[in-house]
Amino acid sequence: MLDENKVVVAMSGGVDSSLTAALLKEQGYDVIGITMQIWPSDEAPEDNEGGCCSLSAVNDARRVAHKLDIPFYVVNFQDSFEETVINNFKNEYAQARTPNPCVVCNKEIKFEAFLRKAKELGAYYMATGHYAKIERTAERNLLKRATDPKKDQTYMLYNLTQEQLEHTLFPLANYKKTKTRKLAKEYGLKRVYNKPDSQEICFIPDDDYPRFLKEHYPDIIEPGPILDLEGNKLGEHDGLPFYTIGQRKGLGLETHKRWYVVELDADNNAVIVGDNEDVFAKELIAKDLNWIATAKLTEPKEVDAKIRYNAPAAKATIYPIEDKVKVVFKEKQRAITPGQSIVFYDGDLVVGGGLIKE
């Protein structure tokens, strides 16, 4: 029997998860803190102030738990993380797609493996420091944008299932980041209240993707031709994983014309380049869909759609096609990138989302 007064907080050593634990304890919950060890300790950075995988981050989380007088554990999720997040990262790049490992981590680790661990400890709830709202109705558990649009993280959370939403708390849903830091300081969380936000992927703390791929997966990197849209060879590329749709700089082409990457052709190991207008498109196909506001999309629906985390939402109509959707934008969008997520909104409500296939 799960205890509805018990909650396990995913503590990264940052200000958001630290304040989450403090707020829940003040609200009367029986709080347990867990830091997920997801990267081999011999490869984790020792001191990465903004990161969530470093040894200093674990120590910061432990200090906060001690300050709050709550139980604290470090739980090993290394195998699961490598099997899901790291392998997906490698496989997507190997197929000339641009992955979003944070989306995969939320789906497979933070709200799947972590929730299982929380339930093993008898907790009805798990909690994180994400900025997003959960609204529970008689029909469905809904996901909505956070109060602070600058911090809203619903784009990264579109894969949450009804079961996961039922057992998740987001205490920071209505806070702005300035308020979060102010409260953390008032709670006496001295080392974390002004800690910088993590900007990079946790397992690549220096944000150097090429270095990481060269060191760990050299077999997926193969030089090949750079072609224009007519198939004329303009030069050589260093490996498809080093390029992304819309890229202009770093192509190494000896020409006065400005070329932009418009396609990564995995079948022919070719980078296809064209003019800037060739980077824009009005339609896409999305797969691996998850619906939150509805059980299934049965008819066309007008939505606001985001094709990347920092992109503004754009007006679009989505059309169900078997297990996929066709997305038609009102205006052309720049650099629609296979492998990235697309998330559909109806106002502040997250309708659902999926992966951009083509």
**Mean pLDDT computed over 170-180:** 96
E-strand ranges in 128-276 read: 133-136, 141-144, 168-169, 224-228, 233-237, 260-265, 270-274
Task: Determine the pLDDT at residue 284.
Answer: 98
Angstrom distance (rounded) from CA 319 to CA 283: 11
Is 102 in the same domain as 150?
yes
| Domain end marker among 274, 291, 316 | 274
Could you list the residue range(s) of the whole structural domain that residue 341 is in? Answer: 279-356
Establish whether 126 is an annotated binding residue. no
CB half-sphere exposure, 56, CA atoms < 13 A? 11
Angstrom distance (rounded) from CA 309 to CA 158: 12
Residue 47 backbone dihedrals phi, psi, to 5 degrees: -145, 90
Angstrom distance (rounded) from CA 341 to CA 358: 11
Angstrom distance (rounded) from CA 126 to CA 114: 8
Answer yes or no: 52 catalytic: no
CATH number for the domain spanning 126: value is 3.40.50.620
Angstrom distance (rounded) from CA 259 to CA 272: 10
287-296 pLDDT per residue, tens: 999 999 999 9
Is 117 in the same domain as 12?
yes
Task: Determine the pLDDT at residue 54.
Answer: 66
H/E stretch holding 184 reads: helix 177-186
Count of CB atoms situated within 10 Å of the CB of 167: 21
Is 180 in the same domain as 74?
yes
Is 294 in the same domain as 268?
no
Task: Determine the pLDDT at residue 103.
Answer: 92
Residue 197 lies in a domain: no
CATH number for the domain spanning 307: value is 2.40.30.10
Least confident among 4-13, 38-47, 181-190: 38-47
Answer yes or no: 102 catalytic: no
* Residue tagged active-site, from 52, 53, 102, 105: 105
| Domain end marker among 242, 274, 306 | 274
335-344 pLDDT per residue, tens: 999 999 999 9
Count of CB atoms situated within 10 Å of the CB of 185: 15
Mean pLDDT rounded to a whole number for the chain = 92
Structure tokens at 296: 């299934």
For the stretch 143-152, contacts whose Cβ atoms lie closer than 8 Å and that sit 24 or more positions apart, written own/partner, are 143/292, 143/349, 143/350, 144/348, 144/349, 144/350, 145/345, 145/348, 145/350, 146/170, 146/172, 146/173, 146/174, 147/173, 147/174, 147/175, 147/176, 148/175, 148/176, 148/177, 150/176, 150/177, 151/176, 151/177
Residue 214 lies in a domain: no
Task: Determine the pLDDT at residue 324.
Answer: 96
Is 263 in the same domain as 286?
no
Q: State the angle between helix axes of 87-94 and 209-216 in degrees (0 to 180), rounded to the nearest 10.
A: 100
**Mean pLDDT computed over 29-38:** 95
Tell me which residue has tokens 């661990």: 117
* Residue tagged active-site, from 52, 53, 102, 202: 202
Is 157 in the same domain as 9?
yes
| Residue from 9, 3, 2, 204 nearest 110 by CA | 9
Residue 50: pLDDT band (50, 70, 90) is very low
Is 108 in the same domain as 180?
yes
Q: Residues 126, 4: contact at Cβ < 8 Å?
A: no
**Mean pLDDT computed over 89-109:** 93
Establish whether 118 is an annotated binding residue. no
Task: Determine the pLDDT at residue 51.
Answer: 52
Is 91 in the same domain as 170?
yes
Angstrom distance (rounded) from CA 156 to CA 105: 9
| Domain end marker among 210, 244, 274 | 274
Residue 173: pLDDT band (50, 70, 90) is very high
44 has pLDDT over 60: no
Strand 260-265 versus strand 270-274 pairing type:
antiparallel
Tell me which residue has tokens 């749709």: 245
- What proportion of the chain, given as a percentage, has pLDDT over 70? 95
DSSP 10-70: E--SSHHHHHHHHHHHHTT-EEEEEEEE-S-TTTS-S--TT-SSSHHHHHHHHHHHHHHT-
117-148 pLDDT per residue, tens: 999 999 999 999 999 999 999 999 999 999 99
Q: Between the CA of residue 143 and those of 146, 294, 317, what are the distances in Å?
A: 9, 11, 20
Task: Determine the pLDDT at residue 52.
Answer: 55
Structure tokens at 83: 């099997």
Residue 191 lies in a domain: no
**Mean pLDDT computed over 34-63:** 71
21 has pLDDT over 90: yes
Task: Determine the pLDDT at residue 56.
Answer: 79
Work out how many domains the chain is built from and give that number: 3
Q: Between the CA of residue 242 and those of 92, 141, 226, 337, what are the distances in Å?
A: 13, 40, 13, 14
Residue 121 lies in a domain: yes
Establish whether 80 is an annotated binding residue. no
Residue 252 lies in a domain: yes
Task: Determine the pLDDT at residue 190.
Answer: 85
Least confident among 76-90, 266-280, 340-354: 76-90
Structure tokens at 131: 């900025």
62 has pLDDT over 90: yes
223-280 pLDDT per residue, tens: 999 999 999 999 999 999 999 999 999 898 988 899 999 999 999 999 999 999 999 9
Residue 193 lies in a domain: no
Establish whether 246 is an annotated binding residue. no
Establish whether 33 is an annotated binding residue. no
67 has pLDDT over 80: yes
Establish whether 156 is an annotated binding residue. no
Residue 207 lies in a domain: no
Tell me which residue has tokens 């629609």: 336
332 has pLDDT over 50: yes
Least confident among 8-12, 18-22, 54-58, 306-310: 54-58
Residue 194 lies in a domain: no
Establish whether 16 is an annotated binding residue. yes
Q: What is the pTM of this model?
A: 0.93
Establish whether 13 is an annotated binding residue. yes
Instruction: Give the residue with greater pLDDT, 216 vs 71.
Output: 71
Is 176 in the same domain as 257?
no
